[in-house]
């Protein structure tokens, strides 16, 4: 009976760990992420090939500006390069529904995953 309990416990622990690993591996930056501010909205769209766009919409002037970029994402570091010689580097905190970008001055902004 004790041996059965040990085997069952080991099986549950094993399954639990596997489940945790699976959920972490499913997190991806690929997709569209929205910041809805009072005066503007900003949407980052990341594709799987290392390119993306930044769409900024000014609610007062009703104008949209779209900027294409290239990016690299490794570990918790995201580098966005608009091609102007001054790439932006962020520390990323990622969940299934939020993308938090923190710059080197520890300013951070949280975006919400668009469905």
Q: Which domain holds residue 59?
A: 28-113
How many degrees, rounded to 5, is the angle at CA 89 between CA 106 and CA 41?
75
| Contact (Cβ atoms closer than 8 angstroms) between residue 47 and residue 32 | no
In a domain, 54, yes or no: yes
In a domain, 3, yes or no: no
Taking the mean position of all CA atoms in its chain, how far away is CA 102?
12
Q: Which band of pLDDT confidence, cut at 50, 70 and 90, is reported for residue 115?
A: confident
In a domain, 19, yes or no: no
Task: Give tens-digit pLDDT for 48-74.
Answer: 999 999 999 999 999 999 999 999 999
Task: Give tens-digit pLDDT for 8-48.
Answer: 344 444 444 444 444 455 899 999 999 999 999 999 999 99
Q: Residue 94 sits in a domain of what CATH number?
A: 2.40.128.360
Number of structural domains (the chain) is 1
In a domain, 10, yes or no: no
- CA pair distance 101, 105, nearest whole angstrom: 11
How much is the pLDDT for 24?
A: 52
How much is the pLDDT for 106?
A: 81
Three-state DSSP string of 39-106: CEEEEEEECCCCEEEEEEEECCCCEEEEEEEEEEEECCEEEEECCCCCCEEEEEEECCCEEEEECCCC
């Amino acid at each position: 009976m004790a041996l059965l309990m040990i085997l069952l416990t080991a099986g549950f622990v094993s399954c639990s760990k596997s489940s945790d690993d699976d959920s972490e591996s499913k997190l991806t930056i690929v997709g569209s992420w929205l910041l809805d501010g009072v005066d503007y909205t900003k949407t980052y769209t990341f594709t799987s090939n290392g390119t993306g766009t930044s769409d900024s919409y000014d609610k007062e002037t009703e104008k949209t500006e779209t900027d294409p970029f290239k990016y690299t994402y490794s570990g918790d570091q995201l580098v966005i390069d608009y091609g102007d010689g001054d790439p932006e580097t962020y520390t990323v905190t990622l969940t299934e529904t939020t993308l938090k970008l923190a710059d080197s001055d520890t300013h951070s902004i949280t975006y919400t995953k668009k469905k």
